Structure 1
Amino acid sequence: MDTPIITLYYRESDPMKRKMFLDQSIAAGEEEEANAIRKELWEIRYGGKSEVPDTPADGYLALWMALEFNKNASSRLFGAKSARREIVKNLQKMKITEYQGKSALHQELLFRECCHMVRTYMELCEKDKTYNTTLCGIVPISEKSAKNKLHRDIYETAIQVPADVNMQEELGIITRAAKTAYEDYFPGEGGL
């Protein structure tokens, strides 16, 4: 059971506000071991260089976008091999494989961070005007069509890409996180 501050931490998508909530929880002496791991994960996730001043880059979303970019890898010449290399590089940079080999608490908090990544992606898509339109951003699509588009995107990125590049095991945590985040985001709508 999360403390109220940690609940806010997992609901927030802004990296600096997340850090503020985490720092508050640490200062309050809450969940010392878990917060130490959360801090490590935060630094790994947001510690990269950003093109936008005063805004940390989200390495987990970079991993998601690498998966997204490689949706059609199996149809390109040397596509799956090249995609696999790029995905492995992102997994290593975010230390996802390393954390999966650590304690149960490390694995649980990594999973929660992956769920947060997928939820953040869904929120960004929902807010993006061009994502929810057709004809070069002119004609809006219906709410049902937008939801179907998001469902298809998440399915292709989190389930189909790992199968296409033969990385189901390595990306299993992303697949599970996508299923969980989707079901939490659209309760009662059916899963991936």
Structure 2
Amino acid sequence: MQTDNVTWKMRARVLKYEPETIANLTDRFGHEPSGSELRALESLGLLAPDDIVDVIGNALVNVGKQRLSDLITGTGQAFTTSRGVTGVGNSTTAVGGSDVALLGASQLYKALDGAPTSVTGVITASTTFTGSDANFAWEEWCWAIATAAPVTNASFATATTSGVMVNRKVQSLGTKVSGAVWTLQATATIS
């Protein structure tokens, strides 16, 4: 077994529900369905996304690498239910190691749907963007760690209380419209 190299492999998936699907579910439930309600319907075979976009790859940025180092040495806030954030934006600018936030003119950061899971070097987390959230072209996304309870906001500093962006990926994921609900699910494998 080789122990000299560590790799970061990221895979993500955007589960898309169009406005008509969400309107039908809202009529049925009396409210817009949450991410957990959508996942429950999917697991029962009662619902399938209208579209799915798969994403491969995502670069750790310098401040993200530093946070990982800090966590190994026992300092710094971890990526948890109460501090994990997913951000989406509309910049097509290539990823740079010195990136500290998404670069788009339009962006939105939001807390995780629930606890990220971690099993033997595999971290999985998801965030659902409601019908009124992030209605713009999704060209980039990231994970971040907030220093206080995250709030849904277009400003990285406000959403994360000046937290740390861990990684960033630039790839066209489509244009989200008002009324559509999209969930970004991501899995990082550290080996």
Q: Shorter-chain-normalised TM-score: which range?
A: under 0.3
TM-score between both structures, scaled by the size of structure 1: 0.23
Higher-helix-fraction structure: 1
Higher-strand-fraction structure: 2
TM-score between both structures, scaled by the size of structure 2: 0.23
Give the structure with higher Rg (CA): 1
Higher relative contact order (CA 8 A, sep 6+): 2
